[in-house]
Amino acid sequence: MSANVASKVAGRQGVHRGYLVKLTIISTLGGLLFGYDTGVISGALLYMKDALNMNSVEEALVVSALLFPGAAAGAILGGRMSDWLGRRGSLLVCAGLFLVGALACSLAPNVTLMVIARIILGLGVGAAAVTCPLYLAEMAPAHLRGRMVTINELMIVTGQMLAFAINAALDALIQDPGVWRVMLAVATIPALALLIGMLVLPESPRWLGLKGRFQESKRILELSRSSSEASAEYGEITDAAAAAGKEKGRAFRDLKTYRWMRRLLYVGCGLAVVQQATGINTVNYYAPTILESSGLGVSAALVATIGIGVTSVVTTILGIWLLGFVGRKKMLMIGFSGVVGAQALLALAFTLPQSDAVSYLILACMMLFVAFVQCFIGTCVWLLLSEIFPLAIRGFAMGIAVFVLWTVNAAISFAFPIVNEALGSTGTFALFVVVNIISLIFVARTVPETKGRSLEQIENDFRTQAIPVVS
C-alpha cells in the first residue's frame, strides 16, 4: 500500500514538473523574441545601411528606435496591461506586436518606415520584458522561482545567440544584399508560437487573487503544487490580496503614502540603470562593427560574434545553477567586480597595433566581459525586479523600472558610436570602468537579499522593514 502511495505521489510530482516545464518554455518565447530582435540588428545593419542609404545618425536611430521610444513605452504599457488584462492577456498582446513588428521590419522600403516598424517591435520587447518575468515569478513555487524566472534570461541570450548564428548562416547561404530582410523576418516564427502557446496557458493565481477570483487562483495553484503546498500558498495569497486591497488601485497615491514602497521603486530603478550601465548592449548591438573596425572582414566579424552569443548562453546557464546556492546580492557584487576588470583589459587591448591577433584578443576580452554580465548580473537583476515589488503596485512598478532600463539602454546605444568616435575605444571603455565602479558601490549599499522567501514573505519583510541585506 505504501509503495502504491509513493508511486502516486511521484506521479503527481512528475505531472507538476511537466506542467511547469511547459509553462516556462511557452511563456519565455517572449524572452527569445526579446533576444532575437535586439541581437539581429547587429548583422542586418551591415547590409541595411547600404540598402537604405543610411548615414550615421539614421543608423543610430534604427538601432535605438526599438529601445526608445519603443521598448521604453512598451515597458509602461506592459506594466499597466499586466494589471488590467492579466499577465497572460498582456503576453498575448506582446505576441501580436512581435508578429506585426517583425513583418513590418522585413518589408520596410525606407528609413522612416523602418524606424516606425522598429518602434512597434520595441513595444512588444518592452512589454514582454515586464510581463514574462512577472508571470513566471507569480506562477512558480518559492523554491523554484529563482531558476524559473532566470530561464527567461537564458531565452533572451539564446535569442541573441540564434540571431548571431542565423545572421552568419544567411550571409553564407544567400549571396544577396537583401539578405537582411530574411534575417529580420525569421522572428515571425517564434512570435506565432508564443501567440498560439499562450492561448492554452492559465492566468497568474496571484493576479486572480488580487481580482477576488480566489477559487480560480486555488485551482491553478493545484496544477503545479501538492495539495498541502497549494493550500499554504493560497492562504498567503488571500492575506496578501486583503492587504493589497487597502493599497490597490492608486499606485501614485500608494507610492506617496508608503515610504517602503518608494524605497523599493528607487532600488528597482537603480538596478535597471546599473544593469544597462555595464555597457552590455554596446557589445550586443555593435560587436560586428567593433570587430570589423579592428581589422576583420564582414563575414569573419559575423562568425566571430557567434562566440559572444555562445558565451552568453553558457554563462547564463552557469548563473542559473549558482542561484541555487549563492545569494542575489553576492552574485551582483561578483559580477560588477568582474565587469570592471574585463573592461579595463578591453580598454588596454585597443591600444595595441591593429592585427588579426589583436582583433581576436579584443574578442576574447569582450567574451570575458559578457561572461561576468550574463552569469552574475543579467540573471539577478531581472529576478530581483520580479521579486521586490508588492502585489498592489507590482505591474505598475515593474513597468516603471523596465521603462528606466530601456531608456538608459537607448541612451547608451545611441551615444556609443558618437562617444567612441570622440574618445576612441580605449577612452570609451575606460569610461565604462568608472561607471561600473559606481554601480558596485550602489549594489553594496542599497540592494536587499530576497533568496529563499515566497513573494508574500518578501512583501511582508519590506512592509515591516525587516529587510535582510546579506545572504
Secondary structure (3-state) at 54: coil
Q: How many domains does the chain have?
A: 1
Q: What pLDDT does 157 receive? A: 83
DSSP strands (E only) in 321-447: none
Tell me the C-alpha distance between 118 and 121, whole Å: 5
Residue range 150-175, pLDDT digits in tens: 888 889 888 988 988 898 899 889 88
Beta carbons of 417 and 168 less than 8 angstroms apart: no
- DSSP 8-class letter at 392: G
Tell me the C-alpha distance between 236 and 381, whole Å: 25
Mean pLDDT score of the chain, rounded to an integer? Answer: 86
Q: Is residue 257 part of a domain?
A: yes
Reported confidence tier of residue 461, pLDDT bands at 50, 70, 90: confident
Beta carbons of 53 and 179 less than 8 angstroms apart: no
Tell me the C-alpha distance between 437 and 74, whole Å: 30
Residues 208-216: contacts with CB under 8 Å, at least 24 apart: 208/86, 209/237, 209/238, 209/240, 209/241, 210/241, 210/244, 210/248, 210/391, 212/241, 214/238, 214/241
Q: What pLDDT does 32 receive? A: 92
Q: Does 43 have pLDDT greater than 60? A: yes
Q: Is residue 61 part of a domain?
A: yes
Q: Is residue 101 part of a domain?
A: yes
Tell me the C-alpha distance between 203 and 215, whole Å: 13
- Which residues, at least 6 apart from 59, have a Cβ–Cβ distance to it below 8 Å? 45, 49, 417
Q: What pLDDT does 242 receive? A: 78
Q: Does 5 have pLDDT greater than 60? A: no
Residue range 58-88, pLDDT digits in tens: 888 888 888 888 988 998 888 889 888 999 9
Q: What pLDDT does 460 receive? A: 84
- Angle of helix 455-463 relative to helix 259-277, nearest 10 degrees? 120
Omega of the bond prior to 353 within 30 degrees of 0, cis? no
Arithmetic mean of pLDDT, 355-384: 89
Reported confidence tier of residue 468, pLDDT bands at 50, 70, 90: low
- DSSP 8-class letter at 203: P
Cell of 370: 559578457
Residue range 404-427, pLDDT digits in tens: 988 888 788 778 878 888 888 889
Arithmetic mean of pLDDT, 372-397: 88
Q: Which residue has the cell 503614502?
A: 257
Q: Is residue 348 part of a domain?
A: yes
Tell me the C-alpha distance between 395 and 403, whole Å: 12
Q: What pLDDT does 271 receive? A: 96
Q: Is residue 469 part of a domain?
A: no
**3-state DSSP helix/strand/coil % of the chain, to nearest 5:** 85, 0, 15
In b/e form, how buried is each residue of 19-40, taking b as 16+ CB within 10 angstroms?
A: bbeebbebbbbbbbbbbbbbbb
Q: Does 361 have pLDDT greater than 50? A: yes
Q: What pLDDT does 467 receive? A: 54
- For residue 426, count CB atoms less than 10 angstroms from its CB and return exposed for 0-12, middle for 13-18, buried for 19 or more: middle
- For residue 11, count CB atoms less than 10 angstroms from its CB and return exposed for 0-12, middle for 13-18, buried for 19 or more: exposed
Tell me the C-alpha distance between 408 and 126, whole Å: 13
The CATH number given to whatever domain includes residue 158 is 1.20.1250.20
Q: Does 197 have pLDDT greater than 70? A: yes
105-114, 125-134, 290-299: which has the minimum mean pLDDT?
290-299
Side chain identity at 281, as an amino acid letter? N
Q: Does 8 have pLDDT greater than 50? A: no
Domain residues for 250? 2-463
Q: What pLDDT does 9 receive? A: 43
Beta carbons of 224 and 20 less than 8 angstroms apart: yes
Closest among 118, 82, 125 to 103, alpha carbons compared: 118
Beta carbons of 424 and 292 less than 8 angstroms apart: no
28-32, 98-102, 255-259: which has the minimum mean pLDDT?
255-259
Reported confidence tier of residue 259, pLDDT bands at 50, 70, 90: confident
Tell me the C-alpha distance between 228 and 141, whole Å: 12
pTM: 0.76
Task: Please indicate whether residue 239 or residue 250 has the higher confidence score (pLDDT).
Answer: 239
Ranked by mean pLDDT, the top range of 228-242, 328-342, 377-391, 443-457 is: 328-342
Tell me the C-alpha distance between 151 and 136, whole Å: 9
Closest among 81, 89, 88, 92 to 135, alpha carbons compared: 88
Arithmetic mean of pLDDT, 272-295: 79
40-54, 247-261, 368-382: which has the minimum mean pLDDT?
247-261
Cell of 48: 541595411
